[in-house]
Structure 1
Amino acid sequence: MTTDFATEKASASAWFRSLRDQIVAAFEELEDSHISGPLSEEAAGRFEVTETRRASDDGSDAGGGLMSVMRGGRVFEKVGVNISTVYGQLGAQAQAAMMARKGLPGMAEDPRFWASGISLVAHMRNPHVPAVHMNTRMFWTPHAWWFGGGSDLNPCIEYDEDTAHFHATQKAHLDPHGVGHYPRLKDWADEYFYIPHRKRARGVGGIFMDDYCSGDWAADFALTQDIGRAFLPAFVPLVERRRTTPFDAADRDRQLIYRGLYAEYNLVYDRGTKFGLATGHDPDAVLMSLPPLAKWP
């Protein structure tokens, strides 16, 4: 049985908030610095920040977070950077899913949980700039604790050098924790971000882990932090490289069709979407990942 982990919970929640602040500032700077090329004459985008609350059955405090969304910028068509820290008791459906996945004897007798994390999805204006997803999280119950998350690149127009940079940056951040981490988390991402009914990957991969617990909380938290730290240096240079590339209506059509694929994955398979809706979190925050526009052929 785990301890209450009060100090560890506070440290994790504070880290996710710090990472959120870094990313929001970096993305607004990308908007400000886009002064030439397609869409540069438009107004720079800014995040709108909304407090979210988790609904509990008995009306007690169940936590919440911040939903930060930018729409219609020069560079970002829609990007959300959400953080949350939620707690309470898992309902029957969530308990069953948790026990099926992890065992956790005693969950039915003591279904308390605590979860904190950051979740990001960016859909871009220029089809040559790849969409991207990132999340990291910590989960605690009286019976076990674990970390999860990663980031993956989702271009509708692929560039080999962009994929290579994204992966190399992630590898460089993971290797100090052990050279076996990157290949294992890369394979995990390839398996997780696969769309069975389309028989294809969602994008060009990245890194991913779930239910991760080595037994050493400090080491696992440090790994999770470096997964988060890898995100901006992995992604921002790709935005800077591609945002001035001219595009036409055919490129835009290709982008919208790809977004349909992205939406299918998130609604049908994504574990975070299912958990957020099952545990009563704000549905607008949970479904923030969906693109503003999409189409199907």
Structure 2
Amino acid sequence: MNPANHSQVTGFVLLGLSQVWELRFLFFIVFSVVYLLTVMGNLLIVAIVTSDPHLHTTMYFLLGNLSFLDFCYATITAPRMLVDLLSGNPVISFGSCLTQLFFFHFIGGIKIFLLTVMAYDRYVAISQPLRYTLIMNRTVCGLLMVASWVGGFVHSIVQVGLTIQLPFCGPDKLDNFYCDVPQLIKLACTDTFVLELLMVSNNGLVTLMCFLVLLGSYTALLFMLRGHSWEGRSKALSTCASHIAVVTYTMVTPMLNPAIYTLRNKEVIVAMKKLWRRQKDLLGPLEH
């Protein structure tokens, strides 16, 4: 089947979360609050990590990047969803749909690879404390970040490349509030069995491999910490559970990450207070 002869659909109708106005308005209120907290929480972490020299370490560099990615990840779908909840015509063009799909998988892929890098960073910090700064120096950290971005890009471009060749000749109703591969494939006017197999393999392999690395890394850490205090073991277990939870990345996860990873940290709290006092000092003269 030649896509050029059959691709007639120029846009898709996003069915969203509900067709009932009262429910849509309720969802709008709830998710507006969630998105606002997501933006404020994650950008606050980025500002804190950037502004305080005491937090210019590998661990906080990775945490700052994670917060920035969480902000980007939520922004890919949330603003559009909020507008569509109040709109009577939630239609997205084919090009915009593919763009959203690309960035959704691009940022999501980077996040998964970054979480794997973070697990490796914590493993080195606990297993090789004397050589940690030598192993996780700025060059290595930078290369790992570049690798995460490249990995996310390759993962995403594969998804888009496999999707863009499909013929879409109707129907045009997308059973979701954003564009993603599984829903788009259902609308294709051709047999997509092989394509679905390739996409599931691509998604599943990336997620599974990173998940196994995370699980193996923190399992090894727990064994190493058996001789440590209960407080140390509890902290390691908490971090392990947090990483595993984030791998499942839902819309609410970016809002929770600042609290899970950073805001409970004493150094971050001290830096936050410094940033707050600095802002008060700057705004003080303006108020008078």
| Structure 2 length-normalised TM | 0.31
Q: Which has the larger radius of gyration?
A: 2
| Structure 1 length-normalised TM | 0.31
Name the one with the larger helix percent. Answer: 2
Name the one with the larger strand percent. Answer: 1
